[in-house]
Structure 1
Amino acid sequence: MSPAFRTTTIAVHTGRRETVHNLTGACEAFLAESGAREGLLNVFVPHATAGVAVIETGAGSDEDLLDALGDLLPRTDRWRHQHGSTGHGRDHVLPALVAPHATLPVVAGRLALGTWQSVLLVDTNRDNPDRTVRLSFYG
């Protein structure tokens, strides 16, 4: 069987507040629509101020992540990168801590995630309410 490559983009409206947006359903829908069976799914956010995380959600971990990022990267005027709202420079440091991509195994057409894991878009940039996420399957 020859390898297959499929890719698409999805638009995500994150609003003007820090947020964690669950992408798991969109990833699963893309895999189902594309007929993907075995391979790898890459989730990529082509933005300088957003990232992709794989963590538990629904039990407060998503809010804990935003709180931890706020502690590590405070929204103050200390940042050298100073266009946009106060503290926007910290948004440009975010991808060094929360990478703008994740590559995940696909088995039998489904993401091979742990029981409590979800694929999340992490967006702390209050100046850009709309994001693009690229999903690419190779298998």
Structure 2
Amino acid sequence: MDQHIETLSVATRGRSMTDISAAIAERLTSAGALEGLLTVFIRHTSASLTIQENADPDVQHDLLNALDRLAPADAPYVHTMEGPDDMPAHIKTVLTGTSVAVPVSGGRMMLGTWQGIYVVEHRARPHSREIVLHFSGTLG
């Protein structure tokens, strides 16, 4: 079994969902990934990863609004040192997660027809986020 690890830098626009599927697919191709498992991990606690619908942008809009209702910025948090959007961002990351695992076959991620891998930026301002890609399987 072979392994390949690399880091992908993603610029976010502030509170948003950024589809990184194409960038990941390019990295898998460059690495020669054939059959195996890809783990995608974000190295942050105020942004997260999710696999979600990539056909209708209204889904992303509704998901971001639902997360805002679950962890509102105006709640009485104790942790406020990094601004009013930081603690809600940590809560949203707990709810959505910091990693996803995707099977790879024939060099392609086995995502569903309408699925994409997204960085979910929970903070109000833009950030540069580091995404670690770890492929374990056969390389060609």
TM-score with structure 1 setting the length: 0.92
Alignment check: 8 A CA contact 2:85 2:123 kept: no
> How many Å apart are 1:85 and its aligned residue?
2.3
Mapped partners of 2:126, 2:82: distance in 1? 10
Mapped partners of 2:18, 2:8: distance in 1? 13
CA shift in 2, pair 1:18/1:51, >3 Å: same
- Greater shift in the superposed pair: 35-44 or 69-78: 69-78
Mapped partners of 1:87, 1:9: distance in 2? 26
- Greater shift in the superposed pair: 120-129 or 52-61: 120-129
The percentage of aligned residue pairs carrying the same residue is: 29
> How many Å apart are 1:127 and its aligned residue?
4.9
Equivalence for 2:20:
23
**2:30 aligned residue (24, 33, 49):** 33
- Greater shift in the superposed pair: 49-58 or 37-46: 49-58
Mapped partners of 2:90, 2:125: distance in 1? 12
Output aligned runs, 1:39-118, within 5 Å. 39-59=36-56, 60-118=58-116
Equivalence for 1:133:
131
Alignment check: 8 A CA contact 2:55 2:114 kept: no
More strand by share: 2
List runs of 5+ in structure 2 lacking aligned partners.
none
Alignment check: 8 A CA contact 1:52 1:121 kept: yes
Q: CA RMSD in A?
A: 1.3
- Greater shift in the superposed pair: 80-89 or 17-26: 80-89
- The one-letter code of the counterpart of 1:98 is T
Aligned residues: 136
Alignment check: 8 A CA contact 1:54 1:118 kept: yes
Mapped partners of 1:116, 1:57: distance in 2? 5
| 1:7-43 deviation per Cα after TM superposition (whole angstroms, max 9, x unaligned) | 111111113x201010100110011000000000111
Mapped partners of 2:75, 2:85: distance in 1? 5
| 1:77-125 deviation per Cα after TM superposition (whole angstroms, max 9, x unaligned) | 5222111222321111122111100010001000001110000011111
